[in-house]
Structure 1
Amino acid sequence: MSSSLQVAGAFAAFTVDLLVYPLDTLKTRFQSQDYVKLYKDASGKTKPSLFRGLYQGVGSIILITIPSSGAFFTTYEALKYSINEAIPPNSTIYLPQPAINAAASGGAELVSCAILTPAEVLKQNAQMLSSKGRRTSTSLEVFKHFQKHPSRLWRGYTALAARNLPFTGLQFPAFEYLKGYFIQRRKDRNGGKPVDGIAERAGITAMSAAIAGSGAAWITTPIDVIKTRIMLAAGSGDDGFKADQQSKASTFLRDGVQGSRKSGFTVAREVLKTEGVRGLFRGATLRAGWTTIGSGLYLGCYETGRHYLEKNRRENDGEHLMQRDWSNVKTGIGRSRSQDVVKKSAWQED
């Protein structure tokens, strides 16, 4: 099961990253503290440079996609299963399914963010590089800048987790609910017949993910703005990409000072002071739009891949393989629970 999840999750993430990456680049540029200076002319019109080099930095994300997405989905499914197993249906402890989904997705995000943060820092700084001149790789150019201070590659972990935790905490419970709702409606229309078609399940999953993802993306945009500016600050040093860098006393929003360790709350206050609430929601429409596409494709591909692999395994190997896989699932030390004779649990024997 875990290998199937990793394959499906990695394929989904790889597909989506390539398709929606240009929109992510535009979002990063919109949210940058230097957006007006770099991408607006004296009359306030948008410069063509805003739309150049939209795939800058894509290499770092592609390389990290497989381990980060595989870790997320494997952890998510494992935590969801473990929590459900730990709290039986007739237990005195009641935990709603949406809360279980939120807890599982939150734990999965913490694992995924630890893997994803360095690539995210490289990506966002590469997205802001000028597209003029000839470069072999923007990702490598940015990476060279971090060689003297590699710890800065994890500078935005807290901000990334602070964005992704509420995002997944909102998205996945809504996604699971909507998917169950639409599948049940489809079954009712077909006289209770299960929804086994791969294309049909993919469509329902994609629609549910798109609706849940767009709403969660809009709500969490202020945290995304803060995360973007913290990560861009990590790559703007005295020997870095800003020719007009001033002293370390310069403000974060104007210069993105090297080594700045301002908290997210401080950055948020400065954005509110200089740009108002509108500044915290900069790029919200674009982010919600590409998340609608991205989440629909991502979870649609994931669900399709998982359903296909599991269906193919059942058809080719039958019940024997299913039994063999269950025997390999261990909880704690000793034999699998599925190998033992069913008996009362400790909590039932009192």
Structure 2
Amino acid sequence: MFPFSSVLPSIHCEAQDTSSSLTGSALKSVRNAVSAPENELKRWKRVFDANAKVVINGEKFLDTENFVNAIVPRGDLTKIDRAQFAMLFRVADASKRGLVSWEDFTIFETVLKRPDADYWIAFQYFDVDNSGTITFDEFKNVFTANVGSSSIPFDFDSDWVKLYLGKKNGTHVLGYNEFTQLMKGLQGERLRQAFRYLDSDQDGFIRPDQFKQIILEIAGHKLSDAVVERLPTLCTLTLGGRISYSEVVAFHNVVREMDMIERIIREATVKTKDGRIDQSDFLNHSAATSRYSLFTPMEASIIFHFAGRGNGDKRLALVDFAQLLDPRWRHPHDDSEGKTTSDASFLHRLLLSTYSFVQGGFAGALGATIVYPIDMGDMQNQRSTVVGQMLYKNSIDCAQKILRNEGFLGFYRGLGPQLIGVAPEKAIKLTVNDLVRGRMMDPETGRIKLGWELIAGGTAGGCQVVFTNPLEIVKIRLQVQGEAAKLEGAAPKGAVHIVRQLGLVGLYRGASACLLRDIPFSAIYFPTYSHLKKDVFQEGYNGKQLNFFETLGSAAIAGMPAAYLTTPADVVKTRLQVEARQGQSHYKGLTDAFVKIYREEGFGALFKGGPARVLRSSPQFGFTLLAYEYLHKYPWEDKPPQVQTALTSRQEDMARTRARNALKILLDVHGNFGRRAANFSPPLVRPSSRLA
């Protein structure tokens, strides 16, 4: 237990000392933190103890390096040097002794709970004397100490500075709220002054290298190295080889609104058929999703210029924008050296295919077992020209008679051969579909054209016939003979007897009808399943992952049209594969079967058992694809490249995120803010403890 009572006097004292600098909401946030949950205090204590390496008189302290270790966000996706987090040490070190105690650390963590912690920390950094206000001299001294003489100079006597701080003699001081507005507009003023300073002949243009210098100073930490290297190419957007002030401002607006740009790009690319957008798509989606036009045509051109590597006219996928959206982006080849060879790549693909095959077998066996009682193939084989009575009036009558004559186990007659055959059948079907789709899929967007979707599904359906045909002949004959044997007083034969009787050639009797059924079935099923997930349930939209019921629903619904529309081929296949009894029509082949069934029994006979087939296939493929999807999620799976940015990555701790954002506000003053002033400690006007 780590009671907070030992910290309360310190916090109470701090609150009194700095009451002039704390607003009512600030005091409220501190009081709320004092009553923080015990588990949160324990977590702070664990972090402190794990990093506090300095011990004085039995008390632990954090030095600068240990403090940085305690507060740096894990897996940070921003381009901030680790050493720059040491700037925050000045804010946390309330006693100015070069060490942070447990009480100091608790107060700092309390500040990080504030919703405006980023601006509040920046305010404390500039408020050197802890007076609760910032004077002109304080602002200028902290600014110049961190920027350095080699940087583009900033005019503190400008009209913009006077609007916030009054005349140079400091008649106006900034409170906290005023300071936040100053910091928000400071980068724009820095940009304007820098352009005017470098535009020596005042013609409204600067050189590309000068533009790069400006951006590096005020926004270099927000851009990837690849974008920084190409900054001078902005001059290619217009004639003359130089860069105008309008282009500089437009680029700055792009950087400032990067989060909104990313949201628009993610939403727009999901909604297009090919997963790519051009400048028109970007501007249209921007206008449709915002109250006002957020981006100008020039800003859109800049976005596509850098994302398209100088070719801003082509359609781009989300991955093309990654180098602009992610400051830590690196070229894909940077990590590939020595990792793959042709042999390793072949082995990798072989292992993936083997894994998919095995998982497809498990998934198929599960789906077949769940719905097997519905699989009453004998309804399709029942003919109206039978000598004697009809076996079954309908599916319900069929189920009742099977239960009465054969018991519950009668519903699972023939399940053994079904499971033996369904594993390779479903495995090859799912594997081939994935294999063809993977080959024809756009590697950057993960999209595939409808024509290739149909070919992938049809190919998968055709390949499975090598397993399907023998399996279904044995299964159907086992199912049919069970009820017939009861009526005729004959002993049912086993699967081995049927296989021996048919022989290898006989096992592929009706294969043409099987192909006629399975190829269109898969060609209908897999594209429908894919589009239900993407278009109806919005898979991938803003990174959405389908839940259990959405995946099951997509797989089950897709099976309905596929099953019913291929029923005629299934009826013919069943008739060709079942041994005709005395008095029943014999079929010479596929065409003969179609003709005779139509003439003798009518068009409706071709769809006999269609509803039962839907009831069987829909849940069977629903559970099969559901199992396959979940079993198929392995970490080394080949997937389209994912664009992970600070916008999509969830931080483990919001406090760490606020600490990072506070640094961003300071780095907006200058990209090297904090590096030069690592040991900078301005003199204090009066002794005071800081309630950061």
- TM-score for both structures, normalised by structure 2: 0.36
Q: Which amino acid in structure 1 is aligned with residue 576 of structure 2?
A: I
Q: Which amino acid in structure 2 is aligned with residue 21 of structure 1?
A: Y
CA offset digits 1:211-243 (Å, max 9, x no partner): 1111111111111111110111xx45xxxxx4x
Question: Is 1:227 matched up with 2:227?
Answer: no
Question: Is 1:116 matched up with 2:468?
Answer: yes
* Distance in 2 (alpha carbons) for counterparts of 1:88 and 1:303: 21
State the shift of 1:299 in Å. Answer: 0.8
Q: Which amino acid in structure 1 is aligned with residue 602 of structure 2?
A: G
Segment of structure 1 superposing worse, 150-159 or 64-73? 64-73
Q: Which amino acid in structure 2 is aligned with residue 5 of structure 1?
A: S
DSSP 3-state at the match of 1:128: helix
Question: Is 1:21 matched up with 2:21?
Answer: no
State the shift of 1:143 in Å. Answer: 2.4
State the shift of 1:275 in Å. Answer: 1.6
2:162 matched residue in structure 1: none
More helix by share: 1
Q: Which amino acid in structure 2 is aligned with residue 295 of structure 1?
A: F
Equivalent position to 1:107, from 459, 463, 487: 459
Structure 2 CA distance for partners of 1:161 and 1:78, relative to 1, 3 Å: same
1:166 matched residue in structure 2: 520
* Distance in 1 (alpha carbons) for counterparts of 2:552 and 2:434: 18
1:4 matched residue in structure 2: 355
* Distance in 2 (alpha carbons) for counterparts of 1:138 and 1:72: 28
Q: Which amino acid in structure 2 is aligned with residue 16 of structure 1?
A: G
State the shift of 1:82 in Å. Answer: 2.0
Question: Is 1:215 matched up with 2:561?
Answer: yes
Q: What are the within-5 Å matches in structure 2 for residues 117-132 of structure 1? A: 117-131=469-483, 132=486
1:342 matched residue in structure 2: none
State the shift of 1:140 in Å. Answer: 2.6
1:194 matched residue in structure 2: 544
1:203–1:300 Cα contact (<8 Å) kept: no
Question: Is 1:302 matched up with 2:628?
Answer: yes
* Distance in 1 (alpha carbons) for counterparts of 2:399 and 2:622: 31
| Structure possessing the higher relative contact order (Cα contacts under 8 Å, 6 or more residues apart) | 1
1:336 matched residue in structure 2: none
Q: What are the within-5 Å matches in structure 2 for residues 1-350 of structure 1? A: 1-24=352-375, 26=376, 28-34=377-383, 37-40=389-392, 48-51=400-403, 52=406, 53-84=410-441, 97-131=449-483, 132=486, 138-146=494-502, 149-184=503-538, 192-195=542-545, 200-232=546-578, 235-236=579-580, 242=581, 245=582, 254-255=583-584, 257=586, 260=587, 262-307=588-633, 310-311=634-635
DSSP 3-state at the match of 1:54: helix
1:13–1:66 Cα contact (<8 Å) kept: yes
* Distance in 1 (alpha carbons) for counterparts of 2:525 and 2:429: 14
* Distance in 2 (alpha carbons) for counterparts of 1:168 and 1:77: 12
* Distance in 2 (alpha carbons) for counterparts of 1:135 and 1:74: 40
State the shift of 1:7 in Å. Answer: 2.6
Q: Which amino acid in structure 2 is aligned with residue 106 of structure 1?
A: G
Matched residue count:
270
Structure 2 CA distance for partners of 1:7 and 1:202, relative to 1, 3 Å: farther
Q: How large is the Cα RMSD of the aligned pairs?
A: 2.9
* Distance in 2 (alpha carbons) for counterparts of 1:202 and 1:156: 37
2:509–2:577 Cα contact (<8 Å) kept: yes
State the shift of 1:129 in Å. Answer: 0.8
Q: Which amino acid in structure 2 is aligned with residue 6 of structure 1?
A: F
Question: Higher Cα Rg: structure 1 or 2?
Answer: 2
Q: Which amino acid in structure 1 is aligned with residue 528 of structure 2?
A: A
Structure 2 CA distance for partners of 1:6 and 1:137, relative to 1, 3 Å: farther
* Distance in 1 (alpha carbons) for counterparts of 2:450 and 2:509: 32
* Distance in 1 (alpha carbons) for counterparts of 2:412 and 2:383: 19
State the shift of 1:99 in Å. Answer: 1.6
* Distance in 1 (alpha carbons) for counterparts of 2:392 and 2:491: 24
State the shift of 1:158 in Å. Answer: 1.2
* Distance in 2 (alpha carbons) for counterparts of 1:82 and 1:40: 47
* Distance in 1 (alpha carbons) for counterparts of 2:457 and 2:478: 29
* Distance in 2 (alpha carbons) for counterparts of 1:298 and 1:46: 26
* Distance in 1 (alpha carbons) for counterparts of 2:420 and 2:399: 31
* Distance in 2 (alpha carbons) for counterparts of 1:193 and 1:96: 19
State the shift of 1:88 in Å. Answer: 9.7
State the shift of 1:187 in Å. Answer: 6.0
DSSP 3-state at the match of 1:12: helix
* Distance in 2 (alpha carbons) for counterparts of 1:282 and 1:14: 26
1:340 matched residue in structure 2: none
* Distance in 2 (alpha carbons) for counterparts of 1:161 and 1:217: 14
Q: Which amino acid in structure 2 is aligned with residue 117 of structure 1?
A: N
* Distance in 2 (alpha carbons) for counterparts of 1:136 and 1:286: 25
